């Protein structure tokens, strides 16, 4: 009977605690990886979509503003029409081509290139986004406009989001470790007490008793064990008394 209780505790303490630690740490680690990867990436994609939409809208407004000046080939008026675009905080450069994609005007571009592919392209690694749209005057195609805007502010925001996510994940990991240690102690501390008492009983120290405060499975196990020791102690005393009488 004594060995039965000792074996129960030995089987429970190490494997259960190890399994609990592994389970909690796996959950915390998975959560940390999810935070570090998902939120910055999601923020990046949302920011790029917003930047693409804004770039397309700015390109259309710029095209409307500059169309008549391009049609009449009035360079001064083209510059005046583009002042609002030039003052944008993320503006980088602007190129105007004719219908054959020959560059007619370029602003703030050291080596201007005619972009023949229409639409939006974002070059996140190079920190800019580019939009090429047709220029029309009274529904007549007169050329193409390529607008280049910076993505440096978005990259900065994404970097900050990554740092914040990393900080949150580290805090979560630390909290998870502390929680794991505390919860494992909740399970193992009473079991360690029981194991200590069981060992003493196995050495025939029948005066020892297990005392586990509370109202849980460990308390019930301790009470059952104490009842068993009481009976064992009584039986041992009776046997000793009989032996003495026989002598």
Residues with Cβ within 8 Å of residue 33, at least 6 apart in sequence? 169
Residue 11 has pLDDT above 70, yes or no: no
For the chain, the first-to-last Cα distance in angstroms comes to 29
In 3D space, the residue among 203, 210, 195, 216 whose CA is nearest the CA of residue 12 turns out to be 195
pLDDT recorded at residue 136: 94
Calpha distance 200→63 (Å, rounded): 91
pLDDT in tens, 192-228: 777 777 777 777 777 777 777 777 666 777 777 778 7
- Residue with the two structure tokens 């703030």: 108
pLDDT recorded at residue 8: 47
Contacts 24+ apart (CB under 8 A), 151-156: 151/48, 151/51, 151/90, 151/122, 151/123, 151/124, 151/127, 152/90, 152/127, 153/89, 153/90, 154/44, 154/47, 154/48, 154/51, 155/124, 155/127
Residue 9 has pLDDT above 60, yes or no: no
In 3D space, the residue among 86, 180, 96, 91 whose CA is nearest the CA of residue 129 turns out to be 91
pLDDT recorded at residue 36: 77
Task: Check residues 89 and 235 and name the one with the higher pLDDT.
Answer: 89
Residues with Cβ within 8 Å of residue 178, at least 6 apart in sequence? none
pLDDT in tens, 57-104: 999 999 999 999 999 999 999 999 999 999 999 999 999 999 999 999
- The pTM score is 0.65
pLDDT in tens, 105-157: 999 988 888 888 899 898 988 899 999 999 999 999 999 999 999 999 999 99
Residue 16 has pLDDT above 70, yes or no: no
Calpha distance 15→188 (Å, rounded): 11
Calpha distance 66→54 (Å, rounded): 18
């Amino acid at each position: 009977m004594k060995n039965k209780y000792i074996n129960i505790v030995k089987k429970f303490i190490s494997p259960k605690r190890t399994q609990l630690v592994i389970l909690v740490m796996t959950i915390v680690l998975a959560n940390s990886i999810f935070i570090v990867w998902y939120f910055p990436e999601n923020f990046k994609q949302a920011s790029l979509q917003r930047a693409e939409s804004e770039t397309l809208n700015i390109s259309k407004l710029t095209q409307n503003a500059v169309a008549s000046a391009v049609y009449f080939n009035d360079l001064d008026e083209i510059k005046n029409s583009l002042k609002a675009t030039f003052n944008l905080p993320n503006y980088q450069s602007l190129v105007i081509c004719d219908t054959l994609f020959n560059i007619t005007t370029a602003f703030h571009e050291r080596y201007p290139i005619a972009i023949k592919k229409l639409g939006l392209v974002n070059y996140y690694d190079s920190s800019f986004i580019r939009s090429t749209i047709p220029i029309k005057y009274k529904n007549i195609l007169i050329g193409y406009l390529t607008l280049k805007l910076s993505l440096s502010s978005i990259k900065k925001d994404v970097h900050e989001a990554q740092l914040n996510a990393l900080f949150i994940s580290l805090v979560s990991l630390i909290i998870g470790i502390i929680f794991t240690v505390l919860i494992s102690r909740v399970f193992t501390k009473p079991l360690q007490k029981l194991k200590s008492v069981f060992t003493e009983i196995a050495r025939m120290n029948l005066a020892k008793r297990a005392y586990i405060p509370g109202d849980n499975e460990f308390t019930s196990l301790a009470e059952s064990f104490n009842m068993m020791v009481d009976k064992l102690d009584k039986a041992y005393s009776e046997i000793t008394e009989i032996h003495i009488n026989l002598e």
